[in-house]
Amino acid sequence: MTFGPKPRLADVFFGDWFLRDAINTGFPLNTVVSTRQFAASSAKNPSFYRDTILLAYAPVVNGEFTNYEPPPDPKIHVTPGYCWVNAPTAVPQYLQYLTSLGIGMSAYQLVPGWLIKSNQHLDQPTSINPKTWSCVPSDEPQPGQSAGALVLAWFKQRNG
């Protein structure tokens, strides 16, 4: 948050202010440790912080974002809740919205058809083709679409 092409110093100062205010209003605190010292002491003695409550300001992250085409099925004619009918335009807008608020995201479902095309090619993300995107399992001209490439581009933009 502090370094990189788009530092967010306001977030850092807010975290400091928030914790300072908590301490000033009676939050019980007896030790302060830097990130570097915490990592070093934990590596040297993994049980050093056992039975200790650790407090740190943490950034906000998106709880869950799921958007992929359902598997083709000629018998199903309804749209599942996890598939956005307007995904070709809504997903880029949603990612921009997260960026505008400084909200992060975790991407962890490396399942074929969700973020990746196949287990053999983890470096090939899924994509959305606006001309063939469909949330109806019985009507999928191009199955296996998802926002993988958009999410990857979002991470690259934010993290360089």
The more confident residue out of 105 and 45 is 45
What tens digit of pLDDT does each residue of 93-105 get?
999 998 888 788 8
Please tell me whether residues 68 and 55 are part of one structural domain.
no
End position of a domain, from candidates 44, 59, 74: 59
Please tell me whether residues 69 and 130 are part of one structural domain.
yes
Please tell me whether residues 53 and 70 are part of one structural domain.
no
Q: Please name which of 157, 149, 109 lies closest in space to residue 126, comparing C-alpha atoms.
A: 149
* Containing structural domain, residue 93: 62-159
Please tell me whether residues 18 and 95 are part of one structural domain.
no
pTM of the model: 0.62
Number of domains in the chain: 2
What tens digit of pLDDT does each residue of 56-87 get?
766 666 767 778 888 899 999 998 888 899 99
Over range 4-12, report the average pLDDT.
Answer: 73
Structure tokens at 106: 């975790």
Contact 126, 69 (CB under 8 A): no
Please tell me whether residues 19 and 72 are part of one structural domain.
no
The more confident residue out of 3 and 44 is 44
Rg of the chain in Å (alpha carbons) = 21
